[in-house]
Structure 1
Amino acid sequence: MKFNKYALNPTFSFVREQNKYISITNKKQWAQFENAPENYLVSYSGRFSENTGVGIGLFQQSNGVYTNFGGILNFAYNAVFDRDSNLTFGTNVAFYQSGIDQGKIVSNFPDSALNNTEKSSVVTINPGINYGTMFFDFGVSVNNLVSYNLNTSELIEENPEQSIQGHIMYTGFLQGSGFFDSSKFSGLVRSEFKKDQTVISGVMMLTVPKGIWGQAGYNTLYGASAGIGLNISKQIAVEYNYEQSMGELSEFGNSHEITLAYKFNKKYRYNYSDDEEDGSIFSSSNKKRKSVNKRKASAATSESDKERFRANRVASEKVKTERKAQFEAEAKAKEEAKQLAEAPSETEEVADIEEKQAEVEEVTEEVEVDANAEELAKAQQEADAKAKAEAEELARAQQAADAKAKAEELARAQQAADAKAKAEELAKAQQAADAKAKADELAKAQQAPMQKLEQKN
């Protein structure tokens, strides 16, 4: 996971990368067998600008009398959404020529089949994509998406090595004290899907700021692996990996891989994903102490998570920039004052300075006027709001008074109606009494003659 990562996914020449390396790698596979598979890779790759990664490599694979030689060209471009979210596109264009190495053939009899074997030259295109966040990366690539045979001038339609590969990677930093303080932890899980085979692998790596790293992994096809690496100096590093075959290939034994790498010094610091500092084993003690103290100071400012550390660093850079601008302005003012003191007769420069001062005063007055206008507008708004509230309160009081007057008027009308009804009732009763009295009087008047007739008889 340290070197030549672009061979896993074409975006890895940029993803989580900060430097450029030139490396030489040799892998002796199944070392217990004579003429066992052996691979060589010479590569120059890494981050070349703020948003691009590039890689170029030459390789040779030998398996008995069979030899495969070729090269890889890599390019990756990163699109930044924000500081902790980005999308990277990449592609590997590979050329290789495979055939039989006649120099390795030992035979007492000529074999026409071997003599007539032609070498095969193929060009392949392998694109990939990766989405990265602060700690995680998710990606997909297609191996041998396009395979073109230069000998036959035809596309290879049925390529058994064509596959789709997906990965999930985590990268974080340990917070603590002592030897492992600010150590970097990385974990990668990959799955490769071929037509007749699926290979799943995982590897994790821990990098200590002292310039030492160790890794361990497992591959369902090749078995378990473990490795260690160290920075001999600030530029030179060496790495060794051991692989033990397991499962169906357990009888094939072990494999060994060694890499020697040289890191080029960066000319400037990148804005995106440039938070690491690599130490080395044989650097001077002062440099070591200075680097360790610097990392501890950085870690102390971010005990919660890396995001806070980055925010603090951005704020620190901003303060430094502001201070630098302030110092430059003060130096410029002192220089202008010195020039005025040395050349007081230069009235034009004095006039220009006075004119600039007048402009500054005018702008200051305008700012003050604007501020006063804003205060007056604010006071006017508050007065309008207060007047509106008082008007609303008066309106509510008036409505209450109107309602009360209306209620009283209704009560008076009700009383008048009740009095009128009562008077009418009394009048009716009086009329009835008068009618009854009159009827009684008429009845008595009619009975009087009858009584007189009876007395006469």
Structure 2
Amino acid sequence: MRTFVLLIILCVYSTQGSYAQQEDGVVSYDLPTRNSLTFNRFTLNPTFSFVKEQTKYISFYNKREWVQFENAPLTYLASYSGRFGENIGAGLGLFQQNYGVLTTFGGVLNFAYNAQLGYDNNLTFGLNIGAYKSGVNTANVITNFDDPSLQNTPDNFLLTVNPGINYGTEFLDFGLALNNLALYNVNTSALIEEDPKQSVQAHFMYTGYMRSRGFFDETKFTSLIRSDFQKEETIISALAMVTIPKGIWAQVGYNTLYGASGGIGLNITTQIAIEYNYETAFGDLSSFGASHEITLAYRFKNDDNRADEVSSILSSGNKRRKIVKTTNPKVASSTTKKAPQTSTNDEKKKKEQAILLAEQEAKLKLESDKKAEILAAQQETEAKAKLLEEQKTQELAESQAKTDKAEADKIAKERAETRAKLLAEQKAQEDAAAQAKRLAEQKAQAKRLAEQKAQEDAAAQAKRLAEQKAEEDAAAQAKRLAEQKAKPNA
């Protein structure tokens, strides 16, 4: 049993080199929430609690990695995050991670602040601060005697700092993050110098909406590409997600280290949602098997009537409305309810608000006119396309009719020729049979005549022979009689 436990520890240390330092049991801060673009996004980059976020939610996350192995990595995370104001995003999470006999338990605090640079341009700063305890979980150690290798592994209380920045436009976002920029061990009052999970992370994200008809109308599309530059290796990953207005979303991804992933989620109600992701590794980690993660979330109602409407499989199916595609807080603030700021001149404040409302109404009217023009142009294009399609269909039908007629004539001609050929062959066979019959009859007749003639000739020959014999017999008799008569006279 001791050997088995030691093998588990060595396996964890060798395959999860980024998780711990073998000499003191220190585990790096690394939450495996890499496969979701819907929940716990602030763990991917500290600014994502604000960037392209429209609501607040509570989520409960569980991931089981490499399920075919006993005591494989297991992660629990409970979090509360989202956008809390015009320029502020925040999050709070509690997590526990088990790696065989090693375990970590702690929390992460997130804060993000957005600085508006223009109507559709903004710069967001974010920070994740983690505090957790790492060490050996004695409850998972099964041995019949004390193991010095386990007893000498101390418990550590660690603090980690992860800053990030994001520049966003209406559809695009670019950013950087410094993972485990500083990892401080409170027990030893020293910074961890060799942290395998210390890295520079760069990302590119696109968020847009699909214009179509029917079920996929106003479908939201999100894609994220990340590069994680660590000391010993570089990890590149890509995620793509499609969110259908009916309350369903699907996502796929690929990570050069952890392999491919795929997941699906749905809104059970407008406030309760569930998501499942499946991950399978390639290369050196393929023998470890698949990983499963599931998230259950509660979404708080959004008082901002300019945000995307949320539908669910149990709702009446109200169409999801896309009004704002930008993270511009000043635009959204013109129609949201907020407390009036302190001012020394109420009349000036009212005038400013009136100007903002007038500008907003003018922009909305302009957008509405543009949408109407685009819709009219689309309808005209569709009508022309429909007319061309009908003409093309008619031409194809006429061409097909001509082709069918020619083909039918050709087939009829071939059939007539085939029938005439068959009749000619049949007549030739019948003529040949009649000729053969006539020849046979003539041959039989000739044979009969020959046989009859032969019989007649044989009969005539026999008759001649009989007559000749009779004559000879008569002559001989006459001669004997003459001789007998001559003897007495002598």
**Fold shared by both chains (TM-score > 0.5):** yes
Code of the aligned partner of 1:35: N
Give the aligned partner of residue 451 of structure 1: none
The offset of 1:96, in angstroms, is 1.4
Give, in whole Å, the separation in 2 of the partners of 1:15 and 1:192: 20
Percent identity for Structure 1 against Structure 2: 57
Give the aligned partner of residue 277 of structure 1: 309
1:71–1:33 distance in 2 versus 1, CA, 3 Å:
same
| Residue 245 of structure 2 is aligned to residue 193 of structure 1 | no
Conserved? CA contact 2:66–2:288, under 8 Å: yes
Is the partner of 2:117 in helix, strand or coil?
strand
Conserved? CA contact 2:249–2:264, under 8 Å: yes
Give the aligned partner of residue 14 of structure 1: 50
How many correspondences in the alignment?
304
The offset of 1:68, in angstroms, is 1.0
Give, in whole Å, the separation in 2 of the partners of 1:49 and 1:77: 10
- 1:160-192: CA deviations, max 9, x gaps? 211000000000000010110000000000000
Conserved? CA contact 2:129–2:159, under 8 Å: yes
Give, in whole Å, the separation in 2 of the partners of 1:157 and 1:117: 19
| Residue 109 of structure 2 is aligned to residue 77 of structure 1 | no
The offset of 1:65, in angstroms, is 0.8
| Residue 278 of structure 2 is aligned to residue 242 of structure 1 | yes
Give, in whole Å, the separation in 2 of the partners of 1:316 and 1:228: 41
Code of the aligned partner of 2:125: F
The offset of 1:97, in angstroms, is 1.0
Code of the aligned partner of 2:98: S
- Unaligned residue ranges in structure 2 (runs of 5+): 1-36, 336-356, 366-490
Is the partner of 1:82 in helix, strand or coil?
coil
Q: Which of residues 259, 262, 266 in structure 2 aligns to 1:230? A: 266
1:55–1:65 distance in 2 versus 1, CA, 3 Å:
same
Taking structure 1 as the reference length, the TM-score comes to 0.63
| Residue 68 of structure 2 is aligned to residue 32 of structure 1 | yes
Give, in whole Å, the separation in 2 of the partners of 1:275 and 1:23: 20
Give the aligned partner of residue 179 of structure 1: 215
Give, in whole Å, the separation in 1 of the partners of 2:238 and 2:101: 32
Is the partner of 1:233 in helix, strand or coil?
coil
- Map 1:175-324 → 2, pairs under 5 A: 175-269=211-305, 275-283=307-315, 285=316, 288=317, 291-292=318-319, 295=321, 318=361
Give, in whole Å, the separation in 2 of the partners of 1:306 and 1:15: 7
| Residue 140 of structure 2 is aligned to residue 104 of structure 1 | yes
The offset of 1:54, in angstroms, is 0.4
- 1:253-299: CA deviations, max 9, x gaps? 10100000000112344xxxx5422211101x3xx2xx32x749x79
Q: Which of residues 143, 165, 177 in structure 2 aligns to 1:141? A: 177
Conserved? CA contact 2:222–2:242, under 8 Å: yes
Code of the aligned partner of 1:211: G
1:192–1:178 distance in 2 versus 1, CA, 3 Å:
same
- 1:95-125: CA deviations, max 9, x gaps? 1111111111111121133223210111011
- Unaligned residue ranges in structure 1 (runs of 5+): 323-457
Give the aligned partner of residue 151 of structure 1: 187
Code of the aligned partner of 1:228: I
1:306–1:175 distance in 2 versus 1, CA, 3 Å:
farther
Taking structure 2 as the reference length, the TM-score comes to 0.59
Give, in whole Å, the separation in 2 of the partners of 1:257 and 1:219: 16
Is the partner of 2:309 in helix, strand or coil?
coil
Is the partner of 1:196 in helix, strand or coil?
coil
The higher-RCO structure (CA 8 Å, 6+ apart) is 2
The offset of 1:90, in angstroms, is 0.4
Give the aligned partner of residue 83 of structure 2: 47
- 1:52-82: CA deviations, max 9, x gaps? 0000000011011110111100000001122
The offset of 1:318, in angstroms, is 2.2
Give, in whole Å, the separation in 1 of the partners of 2:362 and 2:206: 32
The offset of 1:316, in angstroms, is 9.8
Give, in whole Å, the separation in 1 of the partners of 2:321 and 2:133: 48
Is the partner of 2:42 in helix, strand or coil?
helix
Give the aligned partner of residue 414 of structure 1: none
